[in-house]
Amino acid sequence: MNNFSSTATAARERSLRDIELHGEGDTLREECGVFGIYGHPDAAAITALGLHALQHRGQEAAGIVSFDGHRFHSERRLGLVGDTFSRASVIEGLPGENAVGHVRYSTTGETILRNVQPLFAELNAGGFAIAHNGNLTNGLTLRRELVRQGAMMQSTTDTEVVLHLVAHSKRNRFIERYIEALRAIEGAYALVSLTNKKLIGARDPLGIRPLVLGELDGCPILASETCALDIIGAKYVRDIEPGEVIVFDEKGTEIHKPFPPQPPRPCIFEYIYFARPDSIVGGRSVYEVRKGFGAQLARESHVDVDVVVPVPDSGVPAAIGYSQASGVPFELGIIRNHYVGRTFIQPTQTVRELGVRMKHAPNRAAIEGKRIILIDDSLVRGTTSKKIVRMMRDAGAKEVHFRLASPPIIHPDYYGIDLPDRGGLLAATHSLEEMRDIIGADSLAFLSIDGMYRAVGEPGRDPANPKFSDHCFTGDYPTHLTDQTQVEQPQHQLSLLAEAS
Ligand code: AMP
């Protein structure tokens, strides 16, 4: 086989694999938020409010499944939470004291309704609804095996694999089946599930994705972030521990710890970008951590400027921290239009670039004739920074320096944070100087990895025992990557090709 044909075959194999990995017209990679409540007369309405507070974790679709003691009820729609669940008639259609909900954000291809969660199926033990934040790294492998055994998949999500694993289990008690399913999966998950008797929460053994326990009027609540508890006036009880499975039913609470204990590796990107600043994640205020990133950045790479300007909203807390640490005044040099979605929601690069312009406007009064330092939380493709630097210069800024409150992202994420593959990550393919040139800034600097750890209260990153999952910056993936490593192995690609054709 000559080089050309081997490249063409590899490309074809890869694209078939992409279809399997990401589904046709949809993706397995998702950013999501989950919520569940047990035993409250207003379960669906409270779930809708909780999902509204978690909207930043997923803006493309939302769903709620409730159980009224006899039947399950489900409402799953594309769009924002408020588009569907602000209507009284929709909430009235979700009666019962137990409910689970989900917000979803997929970014490549179109979102299709059959992928909107919570997923629901009738098992022989009764109905079962499941909502998932995270991403399984052996979802595709398990899926292929289940399909080979005769499973008929309704969606292209990895979450459905859990549902089938539970259905296939031969164990007697439901919770044993559920745990057997968890033992088979690898990767990141915060799961909230509902049966006709139980609300179940589960967090992956490393605690990569967050899940908290709250309480309202004596009823347990599970949610991705504490901001979903605050909105309904619920009390924060504690974080669900890594590897913990918690079950609520009429008998009370049952806790299972089916995995051998190991040092947790929560995802540090929750602090950088993903979580809401008013949430407490892993016992730390996200806002304070972000300010700490900014303060650390000021210590590491300050230049003499007149004003500190955040890229709103994601760069605001870090810019406040930078300003406080450096003593340089903080100014709102960019005004954000809140009536457009996050930049990444736009499916193509052209539209995405247009989105950036729609989203941010220069505030001339704050920047004209000034030397400014711009702060954003992270640099992914470089689209935002490039546009913003040009916008600042056009609005009369004398010097434009760019600072990122996170280290360079050079590795893809496989755990539920949507980031492009390596080729799409600017820092993975360019030197610092090349990036500075592309962005058009007078200077460019990123937070160091040790600095990032210092801002969360660690002495630095201990390579032998890193406290977080920081794979986007280090390439140190804390779980097996069964699906992803198969892509690298030609013999698997060939067997896939044989199966797919
Ligand atoms: P880019 O313009 O491609 O360099 O992306 C950087 C911008 O995207 C920053 O303003 C971040 O706040 C934001 N961002 C970072 N990570 C994500 C993500 N996973 N999903 C959506 N937006 C993100």
Q: Are 418 and 107 in contact (CB under 8 A)?
A: yes
Rounded distance from Cα 311 to ligand 1 centre (Å): 11
Question: What pLDDT is recorded for position 175?
Answer: 97
Whole-number CA gyration radius for the chain: 23
* Residue 103 DSSP class: E
- The response to whether residue 195 sits with its C-beta less than 6 Å from ligand 1 reads no
Residue with tokens 């044993």: 176
Question: Does the structure show a pLDDT above 50 at 193?
Answer: yes
Q: What six digits make up the tokens of 236?
A: 């924060």
Out of 32, 219, 227, 472, the active site residue is 32
Q: Are 410 and 435 in contact (CB under 8 A)?
A: no
Question: Does the structure show a pLDDT above 70 at 438?
Answer: yes
Question: What pLDDT is recorded for position 305?
Answer: 98
Q: Are 453 and 272 in contact (CB under 8 A)?
A: no
Q: Which residue's CA is minimally distant from atom 3 of ligand 1?
A: 381
Domain shared by 300 and 395, yes or no: yes
267 catalytic residue (yes or no): no
pLDDT tens profile 58-100: 988 999 999 999 999 999 999 899 999 999 999 999 999 999 9
Binding-site members for Mg(2+) are 314, 376-377
Rounded distance from Cα 140 to ligand 1 centre (Å): 26
Domain shared by 198 and 338, yes or no: no
Domain shared by 77 and 136, yes or no: yes
Instruction: Say how many C-beta atoms besides its own lie within 10 A of residue 497's C-beta.
Output: 14
Count the alpha carbons within 13 Å of 279 in the hemisphere toward its beta carbon: 27
> Stretch 289-299: mean pLDDT, rounded?
98
Between CA 225 and CA 281 the distance in angstroms is: 7
Confidence of residue 4 (pLDDT cuts 50, 70, 90): very low
Question: Does the structure show a pLDDT above 90 at 480?
Answer: yes
Segment among 171-185, 328-342, 401-415 with least mean pLDDT: 328-342
Domain shared by 260 and 293, yes or no: no
Confidence of residue 258 (pLDDT cuts 50, 70, 90): very high
Helices (H), ranges, 421-470: 426-429, 432-439, 449-455
Q: What six digits make up the tokens of 84?
A: 């569907």
Confidence of residue 497 (pLDDT cuts 50, 70, 90): very low
In a domain, 21, yes or no: no
Residue with tokens 């990122």: 404
Domain boundary among 265, 296, 312: 265
pLDDT, greater one: 106 or 41: 41
Q: Are 36 and 246 in contact (CB under 8 A)?
A: no
Domain shared by 325 and 400, yes or no: yes
In a domain, 492, yes or no: no
Domain shared by 97 and 184, yes or no: yes
Segment among 18-32, 101-115, 347-361 with least mean pLDDT: 18-32
Average predicted confidence (pLDDT) for the chain: 89
> Stretch 262-282: mean pLDDT, rounded?
97
For residue 161, what are the domain limits?
A: 3-14+30-265
Confidence of residue 22 (pLDDT cuts 50, 70, 90): very low
Domain shared by 451 and 386, yes or no: yes
- The response to whether residue 344 sits with its C-beta less than 6 Å from ligand 1 reads yes
Q: Are 320 and 313 in contact (CB under 8 A)?
A: no
SS3 397: coil
Q: Which residue's CA is minimally distant from atom 18 of ligand 1?
A: 418
Q: Which residue's CA is minimally distant from atom 5 of ligand 1?
A: 380
Render the burial of 103-112: b for 16+ CB within 10 Å, e for the rest: bbbbbbeebb
> Stretch 254-282: mean pLDDT, rounded?
97
Domain shared by 251 and 293, yes or no: no
Question: What pLDDT is recorded for position 113?
Answer: 84
pLDDT tens profile 213-241: 999 999 999 999 999 999 999 999 999 99
Question: What pLDDT is recorded for position 108?
Answer: 35
Question: What pLDDT is recorded for position 358?
Answer: 76
Domain shared by 345 and 208, yes or no: no
In a domain, 59, yes or no: yes
Q: Which residue's CA is minimally distant from atom 19 of ligand 1?
A: 418
- The response to whether residue 314 sits with its C-beta less than 6 Å from ligand 1 reads yes
In a domain, 461, yes or no: no
In a domain, 296, yes or no: yes
> Stretch 172-194: mean pLDDT, rounded?
97
> Stretch 369-374: mean pLDDT, rounded?
98
Atom number, ligand 1, closest to the C-alpha of residue 311: 10
Between CA 81 and CA 88 the distance in angstroms is: 13
> Stretch 438-444: mean pLDDT, rounded?
98
Question: What pLDDT is recorded for position 9?
Answer: 36
Domain boundary among 265, 294, 309: 265
Residue 200 neighbours by CB under 8 Å, 6+ apart: 175, 178, 191, 192, 193, 194, 245, 246, 247, 248
Residue with tokens 């990557």: 481
pLDDT tens profile 160-170: 999 999 999 99
- The response to whether residue 346 sits with its C-beta less than 6 Å from ligand 1 reads no
Domain shared by 202 and 322, yes or no: no
Confidence of residue 31 (pLDDT cuts 50, 70, 90): confident
Between CA 51 and CA 381 the distance in angstroms is: 29
> Stretch 117-123: mean pLDDT, rounded?
95
Domain shared by 387 and 435, yes or no: yes
> Stretch 389-409: mean pLDDT, rounded?
98
Rounded distance from Cα 344 to ligand 1 centre (Å): 7
Question: Does the structure show a pLDDT above 90 at 323?
Answer: yes
Question: What pLDDT is recorded for position 13?
Answer: 36
Between CA 426 and CA 191 the distance in angstroms is: 32
Q: Are 295 and 325 in contact (CB under 8 A)?
A: yes
Looking up residue 225, the CATH number of its domain turns out to be 3.60.20.10
> Stretch 113-118: mean pLDDT, rounded?
91
In a domain, 273, yes or no: no
Question: Does the structure show a pLDDT above 90 at 24?
Answer: no
Rounded distance from Cα 294 to ligand 1 centre (Å): 17
In a domain, 134, yes or no: yes
Rounded distance from Cα 379 to ligand 1 centre (Å): 6
Domain shared by 61 and 184, yes or no: yes
Question: What pLDDT is recorded for position 487?
Answer: 54
> Stretch 248-269: mean pLDDT, rounded?
97
In a domain, 7, yes or no: yes
Query: In total, how many domains does the chain have?
Result: 2
Binding-site members are 314, 376-377
Q: Which residue's CA is minimally distant from atom 13 of ligand 1?
A: 378
Q: What six digits make up the tokens of 157?
A: 């999500």
Looking up residue 311, the CATH number of its domain turns out to be 3.40.50.2020
